Amino acid sequence: MLNSDSNNPNSTHRIVKPSSDFYTTFSEVEILEIIDALEVRREIPLKYSYKGKGGKIWDNFYQKYIIPTWYRTSNVEIELLNNNFQYLNGDNLVGSKVNIIDVGAGNSYPIKKYIRQLQKLGKINQYIALDISEALLDVSQKNFKNWFPKINYINDTLDIENSCIPKTLLENEPNQNQETINIILHLGVTIGNHHNRSRVFNNFSKSMKKNDLLVLTNEIGSNSKWNGEARGGCDYHAENIYKWITSAIAIKSEDCQLVRKYDSVRDSVVANIKFLHNYTIIFNIQGIDKNIEFSADDNITIWRHHKFEIPQLQQELAQAGLELIRYSTNKYSSHIMAICQLAHIP
């Protein structure tokens, strides 16, 4: 919706209100967090791009670019899970069964082969899919129950940046007579997308008990050496998030640009909405009444990714009381799978 001088094509100031789609997609708490992020750091957190229509955008991206095909035979997540299967199949772990807790489960496709292998060994106790997006949890449930109708499946919404894994889920045990451990997965290089990685690591740490494992994947290397080429999520995913968000907030396509760049402050590659005119975004619904001003050339970050170097990853884990006990890279040494436990305290 355009108001006031925004209808004047010669005006340099636009005034807009988000669409009804925006307000139906996000809860009041989420809208308040988005408003705060826009005011404080000029960002719409990437985690919210998976909600509503964003869930379909992600699933389409995954199916188009990541699922193995005859011309693309490998998948980083599947390859790394397979390479580490001897360590993640329960044989080296305390417990005869494993619970797989998939945080940021998406469509659950990356774990299909891994769960199949665990099932053949009689190791899988249950699978718990957690995601911020209800739309993606619907996809996950449909996929998993089609693949594994006899395995206990649970799902729930979770924002791991703001919450620990609920104890009610961790204590739900279909087989009470068998000792189990939890293997918590956070795949899809998602750890590099969070704004507050420290809080995420702390929430994982608080969700774990002795002998549980946390398994992460991410890109490795130097962020500052990015060559400016948009690939993978920085290409297709960022492009489609840009289209969705500008539409939901009612920013005209001719009034903005999608800009990808290296953010030296956050040491990350980001994708931004760059304004070409002065803008006022008016948030007004159910007690929320807030105007946010943007000047021409201001940016809103809508996508980000941070690559890790091993010493930095170890440091961030240690600050949360976690310890890197094993890691491996893919065949191109571009991605890492990190396996972590609660740090041993003498």
What H or E segment, with its residue span, contains residue 3? strand 2-3
Closest listed residue to residue 105, CA positions, set 62, 73, 69, 65: 62
Per-residue pLDDT band for 24 (boundaries 50, 70, 90) equals very high
Q: Answer yes or no: are the C-beta atoms of 259 and 299 closer than 8 Å.
A: yes
What pLDDT does 62 receive?
84
**CATH fold for the domain made of 74-219+309-342:** Rossmann fold (3.40.50)
| Closest by CA position to 88, among listed 214, 172, 204 | 214
Q: Residue 212's closest CA among 177, 175, 186, 176?
A: 186
Residue 327 has pLDDT above 50, yes or no: yes
pLDDT at 74: 72
Higher pLDDT residue, 179 or 266?
A: 266
- Backbone φ and ψ for 339, nearest 5 degrees, come out as -110, 125
Tell me the C-alpha distance between 179 and 170, whole Å.
13
pLDDT at position 178, please?
65
Rounded to an integer, the average pLDDT of 266-280 is 97
Alpha carbon distance 205, 171 (integer Å): 16
d(CA 43, CA 304): 10
Look over the chain and give the mean of its residue pLDDT values, rounded to a whole number: 91
Residue 66 is predicted with a pLDDT of 73
Provide the phi-psi class of 189: left if phi over 0, else alpha when psi is between -120 and 50, else beta: left
Task: For residue 170, count other CB atoms closer than 10 A to its CB.
Answer: 18
From 159, 110, 165, 171, select the one nearest 134 (Cα to Cα): 159
Grade residue 259 by pLDDT with cuts at 50, 70 and 90: very high
Q: Which of 95-104, 124-133, 134-143, 172-181 has the lowest mean pLDDT?
A: 172-181
pLDDT tier at 23 (50, 70, 90 boundaries)?
A: very high
State mean pLDDT over 94-99. 79
- List the one residue out of 269, 160, 139 whose CA is nearest residue 205: 160
Comparing 171 with 13, which gets the higher pLDDT?
13
Q: CA 70, CA 180: separation in Å to the nearest integer? A: 38
Structure confidence at residue 93 (pLDDT): 66
* pLDDT at residue 6, as a whole number: 44
pLDDT of residue 1: 39
**What is the full DSSP assignment across 231-294?**
-GGGTHHHHHHHHHHHHHHT--GGGEEEEEEEETTTTEEEEEEEESSEEEEEEEETTEEEEEEE
SS3 state of residue 219: strand
Kindly indicate the confidence band of residue 315, based on its pLDDT and cuts at 50, 70 and 90. Answer: very high
pLDDT-above-90 percentage for the chain? 79
Domain ranges of the chain: 2-60+230-305, 74-219+309-342
What percentage of the chain has pLDDT greater than the value 70? 91
